[in-house]
Homo-oligomer: A and B are copies of this chain.
Amino acid sequence: MPRTGRRPGEAGTRAAILAAARDAFAARGYDGVSIRQVASVAAVDPALVHHYFGSKVELFRTAVRTAVDPEGLLSDLFAGDVDTLGERMVARFLEVWEGGAGANASALLRTAVTGGPTADLVREAVLPAVAGELLRRLGVDRREASLRAALIASQLSGLATTRYVLALPPMAGASAEWVVAVVGPTIQRYVTGELPRPLPADGGATTP
């Protein structure tokens, strides 16, 4: 049923490409995957992959976003009490990594943490989304929201690195409940605690 001038079957083809891309990135990481390989698994012409997703970077971003749904996660989290946000944020983060968001989510996140065009993905999509929610909920200014989002990212990315990527025994073996109880207060402090003043200026170092 052509609606926008494109040919029938578009949604199915797009979904097949995306599924092939998620599997490939999850199995071999960002650098180990080519558009040609994805096209081959999805049984389409490589030109069609470019047509739907542009570059390999864009394909990777779309694969991660559709596997993890950061916007959905965030709006759930920020709908609750801001004073329990720290523990709830850690709990949801662990759920996603431990399979709650689909079979490939954790493998894709692993790729995103350990290589590939991660900096852009986090800088342009994840952090602004978190900072935007903080801005709306806390009434802080944009710079403070952005600093708090980066602090949250500093603890959560390290938690993922030690618990899942490096799989250090004490962190990998602890229950989710224990990790939430011990790391939750750190995140809560980064969300609502006092920050040292003056805050760093945008784009450069300041000496307090």
Contacts and interface: CB of A to CB of B under 8 A. Distances in A.
Interface of A: 113-115, 118-119, 122-123, 127, 143, 146-147, 149-151, 153-159, 161-163, 165-171, 173-178, 181-183, 185-186, 189, 195-196, 199-208
6 contacts: A119-B168, A150-B162, A150-B170, A150-B171, A151-B171, A178-B199
B182 A153 contact: no
A206 B178 contact: yes
A200 B163 CA distance: 14
Contact of A202 (B154, B169, B196): B169
A177 B207 contact: yes
A156 B37 CA distance: 37
A206 B165 CA distance: 21
A173 B161 contact: no
Given A119-B167, A189-B186, A208-B178, A203 B156 contact: no
Given A119-B166, A149-B170, A166-B119, A206 B154 contact: no
- Going nearest first, the 9 A-B pairs with the smallest beta carbon separation are A158-B158, A181-B196, A174-B200, A150-B170, A157-B158, A175-B205, A119-B166, A154-B158, A154-B162
Contacts of A173: 200-205
Given A153-B162, A153-B171, 15 more contacts: A119-B167, A122-B168, A146-B169, A149-B170, A151-B183, A154-B161, A154-B163, A154-B171, A155-B158, A170-B200, A173-B203, A174-B200, A177-B207, A182-B195, A182-B196
